[in-house]
Structure 1
Amino acid sequence: MKKMYLLVICVILMACSQDDTVREEVEAIGDYSLSGKFLAPNQIDPISNANVTLFKAEQKQAETLTNSLGEFNFEELFEGSYSILLEKGHFSSRLNVDIEDGQINNSVDVGNIDIQEFPRIGVVTGSYDNIENILYDMGLVNPITNAPLFDIIEGNSAGRSSIKNKNPRGQQHNHFGKTASTNPYLTTNVDFTLEELLSNSGQLAEYDILFFNCGLDTANADLNTNVYDFVNNGGILYATDWAFPFIEQINSISGNAYLTFTEPHRSGVSVSTEATILDATLSNWLVDNFGVGANGTLTIDEFLGSWQVVDSHDETQVLPWLNGSVEYMDANNNLVNTTKNLAFTYQIGEGGIFYSSFHTENNEEGFSDVDRIMEYMVFELSTLGQAQE
């Protein structure tokens, strides 16, 4: 009888203990929510799929991703002082916020938070692309001096003049180089050239991201090993169209054909395509914020009259972003009409590469649809390599 009595007491104590645990778990759920919106440094364009981490007393409390509108939300929080870290690759911002008793509806909206911390960026000028215009319009600019928050490096000793070249059919095409920006702040602002930069591995390593505009000097690309080292050691390279010789050299050094290019080179002749958007996150960002690409396609009309076609990619390591019907000349001088992928990202070592067969619209009056893709990819490419960290 005595043993039975003790058993009953133990059961009662265990039940009380479990009840206390449940009560503690219920009590551990806070009543407050915290929300906000992450924006580009121009304080207008949302940053999609960014990491948002919430800290309290330097301890991580929660983590989430921004949606296509740049919005984030945390629930079930307690009163107290918090800090928020917002990150999209190398771009980030931080904010301190207090949750206090008496908040309306127990909800704290910190409003818009724009990027405040930037990577070290170098832009190499070219005859047919002006990514520097997009970077400037994204807000990478000193708000007091209006100077760009990135280096602009001369990439073509011949300047951005009009040149003529022949396609494989022997027909002449005038390609008027997209002249240097009329923005007086977007001129060369360093005292070294592309050639000097490429010969100096230490100087290359000072950059987090390098932008190679289409039409830069590629004469010695097949002799250069420093660009590969830059990427392999954590750097990020943006390259468009005629900058492809640097991609081929990286292939050669790495021993991996991440991208292969059709021959003869620069044989693309179509200048527009209705491209399918292959990434849902990019598609949602374009539709939800700018009302473009609602049917999952977007008109890409920024090709040169003789552009470089990507023949194939390593499907195990390379991510294609857009696909469209194009025309190019094959090695037998026959016109080929087929579907090709047009833009790619991939990791190499600790860094990564973005390459596209098209480039910026270069309209000083604001963003075109093609420019919006490039804006999105600027932030997206800054995340390359971080998956390995």
Structure 2
Amino acid sequence: MTFALLLVACGGGGGGGPSGPPLVAFTGEISGQLVAPNGVTPIPGATVYIESPGASARVLPRGADNGACPAPQTQSEWTCSGTTGEFSFDVTGLPPGSTLHAEKGAWTLSQPLRFTAQSTGALGAVAFKTDTAAGAARIAVVTGDYDNIEYLLAKMGLGEVEDNDGLAARAGHAHVHAPRTTQVAPRSLPLKLGTEKFDLYDGNGALPSQYPDVDALFSTVNGQVRLYEYDIIYINCGADEPTTGSWRDLLSSYVSQGGALYVTDQSSVWLEGFTDYLQPAQDWGEGVGELTARVVNTAMATWLGGVTCAGGDCITGEQIQIEGMLSGWHLAQPVPGAVTPLVRADVSAAGFPGNTDAILTLTFRHGQGQVVYSSYHVSHDAPEEGYLPQERVLEYLFFSETP
């Protein structure tokens, strides 16, 4: 299902209200930056195009690399947002009533372009919204003992983060990975519960009782399994497995029909139904405070070079530093040639002797959908301000690997 967002941009796209100057046709350059709902994180590789009601209007994309994003379903001229989310068009006689559109996987937006005689074409930051009725993706998150992707989603504008006191309390709840049979006390969540713009499912007994448990994601509502209501599903490390007997088949079917599934670390068991791509993960990783990894996906490495992390650059060459690899972390075992590696590392000193080029982050297509797995995740020692490099990687994957 496709949704549309109608909003008035600040700067060049505004004006022309009931008491303002009249709207006019615009000639010149229209430029902007496509960003996440937080208004800051750049979104590369999105399809951007302009629809105009005027047959005589001329719209030409500037600096387009149309191989980096799919063509829109309309006949409009189009371009792809660049590494920093930038896009631009040269237009001639673009009339009032024209609309800027952007599409990135399950995310869409539509922004009216309104120009007066005093307008420039500089739109500034053009942000995806958090409301599904306005084009946001429909997202479900299953909580877990060790990961906290909901915190990162909140930092991206899909919720509010707890204040400094809440974050300080979180630091006292760090856990060491334990066997799946070991009970681990729930920890506090730095996401301010109730502010999330996605649906939370309790996968580790940490949420208040008003939140549904993980089995509800596989329940049937009005004749349809609930997980089909979502474009994206996140499974945090340490999430309980569902008790529904057919959950693996349902999850595989969900992805094959166009869903996006993100899984981290010890929740690798959630991917055991994807046997064409993955063998059971090895689960004896040793804890390391910091691990040097290589980003082998060129687009991701380029994007990381354009954003900042706490303390400075996120990437040096192709290397990033990963923190918080705790005892018992899982290493995926891909079927040869069946997955696309994104991040690799030498893990020979982290419990896997001789494995000097292990795949830590991977993706694969399954039917019409996409699966992403990462051996690392949000760290309990994440800074209060800024991002760790691994958080930036996960942030990038949030948009880039959504079908």
Report the TM-score, using the length of structure 2 for normalisation.
Answer: 0.70
Aligned residue type for 1:259 = L
What SS class does the counterpart of residue 308 from structure 1 fall into?
strand
Q: Decide which moves more: 193-202 or 300-309.
A: 193-202
1:274 positional shift: 1.3
What SS class does the counterpart of residue 135 from structure 1 fall into?
helix
Paired with 1:65 and 1:178, the residues of 2 have a C-alpha distance of: 43
Q: Higher helix proportion, which one?
A: 1
Shift in alpha-carbon separation, 1:268–1:119, aligned structure 2, 3 A:
same
Asked if 2 retains the 8 angstrom alpha-carbon contact of 1:80 and 1:100, the reply is no
Cα deviation, 1:317-364, whole Å, max 9, x if unaligned, reads: 52211111103556xxxx444210111111111211111111112436
Percent identity for Structure 1 against Structure 2: 25
Aligned residue type for 2:279 = T
1:176 positional shift: 7.5
Q: Which residue is equivalent to 1:49?
A: 45
Spell out the pairing of 1:264-279 with structure 2 (5 A cutoff): 265-269=282-286, 271=288, 272-279=290-297
For structure 2, the 5+ residue unaligned runs are 1-25, 55-73, 130-134, 163-172, 195-206
Among 72, 76, 79, which residue is 2:87 paired with?
72
Cα deviation, 1:47-99, whole Å, max 9, x if unaligned, reads: 11111011112974311111111110112533323211112211222211145
Paired with 2:183 and 2:388, the residues of 1 have a C-alpha distance of: 21
Among 345, 349, 353, which residue is 2:367 paired with?
349
What SS class does the counterpart of residue 304 from structure 2 fall into?
helix
Paired with 1:182 and 1:88, the residues of 2 have a C-alpha distance of: 28
Paired with 2:298 and 2:245, the residues of 1 have a C-alpha distance of: 36
Asked if 2 retains the 8 angstrom alpha-carbon contact of 1:321 and 1:343, the reply is yes
Q: Which residue is equivalent to 2:399?
A: 379
Shift in alpha-carbon separation, 1:79–1:54, aligned structure 2, 3 A:
closer
Among 107, 118, 125, which residue is 1:91 paired with?
107
Shift in alpha-carbon separation, 1:80–1:40, aligned structure 2, 3 A:
same
Cα deviation, 1:260-315, whole Å, max 9, x if unaligned, reads: 345xx311225232111112221122111213213111011232211111233442
Spell out the pairing of 1:1-389 with structure 2 (5 A cutoff): 32-57=28-53, 60-81=75-96, 82-98=98-114, 108-116=121-129, 117-141=135-159, 165=178, 179-185=187-193, 187=207, 191-200=211-220, 202-218=225-241, 220=243, 224=247, 225-251=249-275, 256=276, 258-262=277-281, 265-269=282-286, 271=288, 272-290=290-308, 291-315=313-337, 317-327=338-348, 329=351, 335-362=353-380, 363=382, 365-366=384-385, 367-382=387-402, 384=403
Aligned residue type for 1:180 = S
Cα deviation, 1:156-178, whole Å, max 9, x if unaligned, reads: xxxx99577479xxxxxx99778
Shift in alpha-carbon separation, 1:246–1:212, aligned structure 2, 3 A:
same
Q: Which residue is equivalent to 2:6?
A: none
Q: Which residue is equivalent to 1:7?
A: none
Computing the radius of gyration from Cα coordinates, the structure with the larger value is 1
Q: Decide which moves more: 44-53 or 305-314.
A: 305-314
Aligned residue type for 2:372 = F
Paired with 1:191 and 1:218, the residues of 2 have a C-alpha distance of: 17
Asked if 1 retains the 8 angstrom alpha-carbon contact of 2:177 and 2:327, the reply is no
Asked if 1 retains the 8 angstrom alpha-carbon contact of 2:45 and 2:80, the reply is yes
Asked if 2 retains the 8 angstrom alpha-carbon contact of 1:39 and 1:113, the reply is yes
Aligned residue type for 2:187 = T
Cα deviation, 1:102-152, whole Å, max 9, x if unaligned, reads: 76xxx51111111022111111010000000000110013xxxx599xxxx
